[in-house]
Every structure is written in structure tokens, then in C-alpha cells.
């Protein structure tokens, strides 16, 4: 069973596929294998093209000026956008624009003016500050950053880790504990400017992923006006939770896109590479790897699309999104691993994108909630309630 694309979806997919192959991949031929950026003039030129394609700002809701593209179509396009060397963490080097922090669409008018609209215009960069050294899988309980009310302001103190983009951001969302409640019910979401006194990016956190690094933030007596509370006091975790669920679908789609590209490389390679007097394609060990790849790709793709379709229908898609994230990240890792095996020594080199995908794909099983947490989310939804 496979999802049949509508004519319009097929046209969009074809257009983005062409764009990736004719505009993005050739640029990478001249970039460092670990590069995460293209030249500013290339970026501007390509953004102009995506605007002409009517696809700039894909994730932005139509009422905020984004193209009116449903989640399913966005997912189909995300499969395509990831199919290049930097595609897992920098799909198309962001020339399709970003939607910014989804939580800001629910912000007050003042907050939208100051934060959301500048992001949509590409004038400001944001970060999402949830995880702390005390834990990331259960942030609702692990958050130790404190916010204490002082007149009309709140004073924040604490540390955040594994925060992407905080060093380059103009502002971000920070979650802090605002009550004695030790559970997720005592957490509030604050909008903070990175030039506020007391906001420090202390270090780069180096990981397997070289280009899209994370940072550690220290917050020391950071004074935030009460107007900067996003959503309701002590109900900030609902904001985090919503983001985590929504982001699982494109996150999975990126993994699947890379897996599709890796599989394409493998199929091409086995038809030209000879060993012991015969093509790799004729070896059963290789054939089985190719078949296992296809099974991994199709099953994860199917669930990913199902999650997107449920989201489009306005149904509860948390189970499917968690399943897509788990399957996509784990299947993607297996596929890239097999394709490296098929390519032998060349698969390990920086001549091919496989070693970069291998390193970055490993992070995907942990980022945005590890596989174990996805299983926990699904169990909770399937059984009901929260059991400890």
C-alpha cells in the first residue's frame, strides 16, 4: 500500500526534487563536506527562486503570509528537501525559509509585533530553550531554572544545554519553574532577548554533528517583564509539548529523505561495482541489504504520511507522530549504515555524504525525544493515563 500523490502534490514534489538536484547539490561540490552554510549571494538568489515557486516560508500559516500548503504536502516536500549532503540538519540551506517558533502564533499582539513578524520577515533569529543539564527527556520535571516575581518583572536564574542557535539568536523562548510544584504544572514560558543583561552563551557543545552545533546558556539574574510571558503562568509546558509533537513529523521526514537518497546511491553503485568477477548487484548479501533498506524506507514513510494526514484532518496525531519519529530516525540510521557497508572504504570517506549522514543520523535517535520516550508517549496514548 502506498500513498497516491495528487497531481498538484506530484508537481510540487517534482519541482522541489529538480531544485535540489540542479541548484543545491552542485553548490555542495565546492563546499567543505561538513559545511552548513552557502554563500550569502547564493542564499539570496535561491530564496528568490523559492519565492517565485510560491514555496517560501512553507511552515508559516496562510493567515501569516505563508503558502497555503497542508501538512501532508509539506511532509512530501520535506522528503525531497533533505536529499543532499547537508539535508538532515540544513535542508536546502534554509532557502525555503523557516516558520520560526510555532508557539509565537499564539502570542499576544504585542509579542507578535516584537518577535513573530520580524522572524517571518527574516530580520530576527530565535532559539528554543527547554533542555537543562538535569535532563531533557522529561523536561517538565527536570527544569530547575527558576523565575521569581519581582514587581512587574520576573528574575530568572539557571542553565540550559543543547540549545541550537542561541549564540546567533536575537531572542528565544526559555522555560522556567515559577511555582513550588515540581511537576510540569509549575513551568512558565518566557520570551527573552539575548542582549538582556544576565543572558550568557557560555560555550559551544561539540557533538557528532559538526556544523549545526549546540550551546550552553547561563542565565544570571535575567530580568524579564511580565509582558514577556508566553501563554499562561505555570502552563508553559503545554506550549513545549505541542511543539515537540508537531515537530516530530518533519523531523522524521528529514531522516526518511536522507535514507531515500542513500538507497538511490546504493542502487546505482551496486550496478557498476564489481567483486570477484561479478557485479555487487548479483550478490545475495547485497540484494538483501537493498531490500531491507526499501522495507525500512517504505514503512517509515507510510507512518510519517499517516501522521501528517491525521494532523491535516485535525485529529489527535500524537501516537502517529511519535511512531513516525521513532521509525524514521531508526530506519534512517539502519539504511545509511547498510549503504556505507555496500560502498566499502569509500563509504567512510568525506568524498561521499554517507559518513556525515551516519554521524548526524545517530543524533536523530536522541534529538526531539529519544526512541524510548517516543515509546512512552505511544504507550501513554494507547493505554491511557500516566503509569509509573
121 contributes a contact to another protein by CB under 8 A: no
Report the residue number, 209 or 261, with the smaller CB distance to another protein.
Answer: 209
Report the residue number, 12 or 201, with the smaller CB distance to another protein.
Answer: 201
- In the residue annotation, 368 being an active-site residue is answered as yes
Strand 171-177, strand 126-129: pairing: parallel
Q: Please tell me which residue in 123, 360, 368, 372 is annotated as part of the active site.
A: 368
261 three-class SS: helix
For 219-247, give the DSSP string. Answer: EEEEEEEGGGEESSTTBHHHHHHHHHHHH
215 contributes a contact to another protein by CB under 8 A: yes
384 contributes a contact to another protein by CB under 8 A: no
Q: Which of 41, 45, 40 is nearest to 23 (CA)?
A: 45
- CA within 13 Å, CB half, 75: 31
- Shortest distance in whole angstroms from residue 346 CB to another protein: 14
Among 8, 18, 21, 39, binds another protein (CB under 8 A): 39
Residues 254-273 vs another protein: string with x where CB under 8 A?
--------------------
Among 204, 291, 295, 348, binds another protein (CB under 8 A): 204
Residues 148-177 vs another protein: string with x where CB under 8 A?
------------------xxx---------
- Stated as kind and residue range, the H or E segment containing 316 is none
**CB of 370 within 8 A of CB of 297?**
no
Q: Tell me the number of residues near another protein by CB under 8 A.
A: 26
66 contributes a contact to another protein by CB under 8 A: no
350 contributes a contact to another protein by CB under 8 A: yes
**CB of 53 within 8 A of CB of 227?**
no
- Stated as kind and residue range, the H or E segment containing 112 is none
**CB of 230 within 8 A of CB of 173?**
yes
Among 107, 191, 201, 240, binds another protein (CB under 8 A): 201
Percent helix / strand / coil, the chain, rounded to 5: 50, 15, 30
Part of the chain binding another protein (CB under 8 A), chosen from 140-148, 173-181, 212-220, 246-254: 212-220
200 contributes a contact to another protein by CB under 8 A: yes
For 55-77, give the DSSP string. Answer: -TTTTS-GGGT-----HHHHHHH
Among 37, 193, 292, 294, binds another protein (CB under 8 A): 37
- Shortest distance in whole angstroms from residue 200 CB to another protein: 4
45 contributes a contact to another protein by CB under 8 A: no
329 contributes a contact to another protein by CB under 8 A: no
**CB of 131 within 8 A of CB of 139?**
yes
214 three-class SS: strand
The footprint of another protein (CB under 8 A) covers: 32-37, 39-40, 166-168, 194, 200-204, 206-207, 209-211, 213, 215, 218, 350
What residues act catalytically? 368
Amino acid at each position: 500500500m502506498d500513498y497516491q500523490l495528487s497531481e498538484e502534490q506530484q508537481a510540487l514534489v517534482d519541482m522541489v526534487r529538480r531544485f535540489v538536484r540542479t541548484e543545491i547539490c552542485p553548490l555542495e561540490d565546492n563546499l567543505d563536506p561538513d559545511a552548513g552554510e552557502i554563500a550569502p549571494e547564493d542564499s539570496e538568489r535561491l530564496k528568490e527562486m523559492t519565492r517565485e515557486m510560491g514555496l517560501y516560508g512553507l511552515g508559516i500559516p496562510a493567515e501569516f503570509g505563508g503558502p497555503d500548503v497542508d501538512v501532508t504536502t509539506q511532509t512530501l516536500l520535506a522528503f525531497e528537501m533533505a536529499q543532499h549532503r547537508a539535508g538532515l540538519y540544513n535542508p536546502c540551506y534554509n532557502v525555503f525559509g523557516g516558520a520560526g517558533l510555532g508557539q509565537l502564533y499564539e502570542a499576544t499582539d504585542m509579542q507578535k509585533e516584537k518577535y513573530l513578524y520580524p522572524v517571518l520577515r527574516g530580520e530576527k533569529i530565535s532559539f528554543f530553550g527547554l533542555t537543562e543539564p538535569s535532563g531533557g527527556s522529561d523536561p517538565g520535571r527536570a527544569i530547575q531554572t527558576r523565575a521569581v516575581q519581582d514587581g512587574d518583572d520576573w528574575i530568572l536564574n539557571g542553565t540550559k544545554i543543547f540549545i541550537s542557535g542561541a549564540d546567533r539568536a536575537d531572542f528565544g523562548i526559555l522555560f522556567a519553574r515559577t511555582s513550588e510544584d515540581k511537576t510540569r504544572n509549575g513551568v512558565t514560558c518566557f520570551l527573552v532577548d539575548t542582549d538582556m543583561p544576565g543572558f550568557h552563551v557560555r560555550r559551544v557543545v561539540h557533538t557528532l554533528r559538526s556544523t549545526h552545533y549546540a550551546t550552553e546558556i547561563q542565565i544570571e539574574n535575567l530580568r524579564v517583564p511580565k509582558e514577556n510571558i508566553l501563554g499562561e503562568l505555570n502552563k508553559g509546558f503545554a506550549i513545549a509539548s505541542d511543539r515537540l509533537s508537531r515537530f516530530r513529523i518533519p523531523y522524521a521526514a528529514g531522516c526518511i529523505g536522507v535514507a531515500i537518497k542513500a538507497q538511490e546511491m546504493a542502487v546505482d553503485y551496486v550496478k557498476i561495482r564489481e567483486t570477484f568477477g561479478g557485479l555487487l548487484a548479483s550478490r545475495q548479501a547485497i540484494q538483501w541489504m537493498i531490500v531491507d533498506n526499501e522495507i525500512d524506507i517504505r514503512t517509515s514513510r507510510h507512518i510519517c504520511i499517516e501522521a501528517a494526514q491525521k494532523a491535516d484532518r485535525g485529529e489527535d496525531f500524537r501516537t502517529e507522530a511519535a511512531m513516525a519519529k521513532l521509525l524514521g530516525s531508526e530506519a534512517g540510521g539502519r539504511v545509511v549504515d547498510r549503504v556505507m557497508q555496500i560502498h566499502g572504504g569509500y563509504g567512510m570517506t568525506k568524498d561521499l555524504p554517507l559518513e556525515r549522514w551516519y554521524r548526524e543520523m545517530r543524533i536523530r535517535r536522541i534529538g526531539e525525544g529519544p526512541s524510548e520516550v517516543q515509546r512512552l508517549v505511544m504507550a501513554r496514548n494507547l493505554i491511557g493515563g500516566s503509569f509509573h
